[in-house]
Copies of this chain bind each other. A is one copy, B any other.
Amino acid sequence: MRADGRETFQLRPIHIETNYLKHPEGSVLITVGDTKVICNASIEDRVPPFMRGSGKGWITAEYSMLPRATEQRNIRESSKGKVTGRTMEIQRLIGRALRAVVDLEQIGEKTVWIDCDVIQADGGTRTASITGAFVAMSLALNSLYETKAIKKFPITDFLAATSVGILQEIGVVLDLNYAEDSSAQVDMNVVMTGKGEFVELQGTGEEATFSVQELQQLLEAAQKGIKELFDIQKQALGDISLKIEGNVNENK
């Protein structure tokens, strides 16, 4: 049993509140235990320079934390005048992951801006961001589709993410909170599609390593957790999830 009473392969309580803020085309508050992230999706009618003339769209993400999302107050990146390496890594990860399940040709030369703002952090902020951002993006692209700004619903599959890790005394666990994450020997973020394929796999041993057998167990835990996340996303998306399932079946 883990310190917070969970089983090794048990997620924390998760909730996704849709239409959280009024201005964004898609807006979600995702709660994963004590981790809370506002995920907003905005549509911009142009693409970055390297995509111009391609006829294809683009999806890009930004990630930030409130200074007091954490136990100790952090200095704002705007005050420091630069974005940390950690933030950049997470932003690139979120954008890349979402692009794997969108048919960019269908959305034309538009950019979907994803903003993930962590208002309270207790571990797993990057995977919560991906799971929530997928819902916010689905809402925004659905509004494009419903207003006939795009012809075909462009999301090709579900997408969710979780973290797994190895704790010295317990072994492999699913969905680490901050205390667990800080003491884990191995930390792995897994992003998967509804079809059960990997989009991203980032396993790291900080001053430690992991074997092929341990990798096997980590992936099993992740697969179990991500399946549960898909159910929560479907509930949040309601009818929109049918359009995604339609696309999945069509591509089989």
Contact = CB atoms under 8 A, between A and B. Distances in A.
Nearest to A190: B203
A108 interface: no
B113 A73 contact: yes
Contacts of A34: 22
Given A73-B44, A77-B78, A198-B209, A62 B67 contact: yes
Number of copies: 6
Interface residues of A, dominant DSSP = mixed
Contacts of A246: none
Chain A, interface residues (CB within 8 Å), range: 35 or more
A212 interface: yes
A205 B215 contact: no
Interface string A123-140: 000000000000000000
A100 B23 contact: no
A115 interface: yes
Nearest to A73: B42
A64 B89 contact: no
B83 A79 contact: yes
Interface in A91-132: 91-92, 96, 99-100, 104, 113, 115, 117, 119-120
A207 B100 contact: yes
Contact of A204 (B27, B76, B96): B96
Contacts of A84: 88
